[in-house]
Amino acid sequence: MSSGAHNFGTVALLSTLAALAYALLHAFRRLRLALVGKSLPPGPLGVPLLGALPFMVARPEVALNQWAQKYGPLYSVWLGEQLHVVVSDLGIAKGLFETQNMVFSSRKETFLKSGIVFAGRGISAASFGESWCRNHRLVAKYLNSDAVPDYLAGLEVETAEMLKALYIKSQGGTLPLDPHPHFARTSLNNLLTVLFGLRTDTVDHPLVAHWLKLTQEYTRITAPLSNAVDFVPGLRRFPAWTGIGRARRLHQSVVGTCSALVSDVDRRMKAEEDVPDCLARHLLKAKEEESLDDLDVVVLCAELMLAAVEKTAAVVSSLVAEIAGNADVQARGQAELDRVVGRDRLPGSEHEKDLPYISAIVKETERLHNPLPLGVPHMNTEDATYRGHFIPKNSVIILNTTAMTHDASLYGEPNKFDPERHLKGTAKSTDQGYPIFGIGPRACLGKPLAQHEIQLAAAGILWAFEIERVDTSADATAQEDAPAPLRVKLTPRHNRVSAVLGYAKAA
């Protein structure tokens, strides 16, 4: 027998033994639970060492949706050495998190996001404990519903500035453009105000493009279930192949950028300059009392900017893409604005309660184009049981919000953009809600601010412009992840637009 054949036979034998050992291990785990009257939720078996990771495609939610159809709305799947429990039904999600919310309110600290990008600090990726409670308390003061009224005037200013910039860049509606950077700058400015008491003065400011690049990289490398290195520790020996190097570079860039912003606030405070009330100022003053170090302060600020800027801008871009492809929706929204706001002023926060159709457009955009389709995974800190299924302590809980927001039993024709679903008293009305901002104590702290920001942007854009898609090669209405439209034409709707934006007298 040749040495090549011998080596091949050895490899085949070892592979077979590994597969058998893996199958026996999982069979033993399930048998052990069965002997004590417990059973895991059903799910795919997977392959040795990697579990079901080889079957995860570029968009993991696709594979998760397929398994939900086969195994049901509550199933388990091994990814590497970690057991995941996937929830694809809104009723089950509410049942778990409303009846056992503290049990399911921790996080699995992932190697890339938690360990490298955030260096074990922050809020969103941290496990439940004293540090998380402290950080959550410090940040909530500046982002909860009680704080938002203090920001509304600033949100209105940023929305008006965005509309002016779109008007100028499009040369009064004569040139098509990509509006996404303008939406990102608006979101960035809103966060810069809250965090550091400052803003950029133009979409061409270097920080706009720089931070947008960082947030897009952050989204790519920290998405749930996107990194095998989080689940297979042996892969961490190969940083060049596993995204570890990218995560380290991202950490350095993010910390470097935000350290400069925090240091400037610190310098101004020490010089006894007039520093606006902002989160960085609050954290710096509380460092000693709250046992914070410099990196704690930087990461808390950076995390909020990373989480919010690109995702908020993506929702507004998706909204514009949908409106451009739905003339009836556009006309109905504009008619509501003309009736409630008129043509002599921009929509303000005081009009939100009287604009139900604009609110419905926002809700339908978020339903159809959730920028975080699998949320941020939870982890249970105790053994739990739900509907006869045992969920062992330290399981990772995935909320498959894509499946929830596309549930045909709740939303007829779920892939169709139809804001009327969210209007009370109509035949299509459904008020099921969906946890795209998370659920329970770990829900997104920035939700109140983001919702007001998106609502104002939607109302302002529809008030000012007729929206027409110019390049239809990227049809966002047909894609669940809704990339920003490549080009749109924004034509002023009426002769009062330029005057209200401050550029010319109406004809």
Residue 389's φ and ψ, nearest 5 degrees, are -100, 135
Burial of 136 (0-12, 13-18, 19+ CB in 10 A): middle
* Token pair recorded at residue 244: 């570890």
Enumerate helices (H) and strands (E) in the chain, giving the number of each. Answer: 17, 8
Residue 477's φ and ψ, nearest 5 degrees, are -70, -15
| Site of tokens 């045909």 | 408
- Which 3-state string (H, E, C) describes 132-184? HHHHHHHHHHHHCCCCHHHHHHHHHHHHHHHHHHHHHHCCCCCCCECCHHHHH
Torsion on CA atoms 303, 306, 312, 313, rounded to nearest 10:
160
133 labelled as ligand-binding? no
Collect all residues with Cβ–Cβ distance below 8 Å to 471 and sequence separation of at least 6.
Answer: 176, 485, 486, 487
Torsion on CA atoms 206, 208, 213, 219, rounded to nearest 10:
160
Rounded to the nearest 10 degrees, the angle between the axes of helix 447-464 and helix 180-196 is: 140
Burial of 137 (0-12, 13-18, 19+ CB in 10 A): exposed
Element (H, E) at 336: helix 327-340
Pick out the residues of the known binding site for heme: 444
Pick out the residues of the known binding site: 444
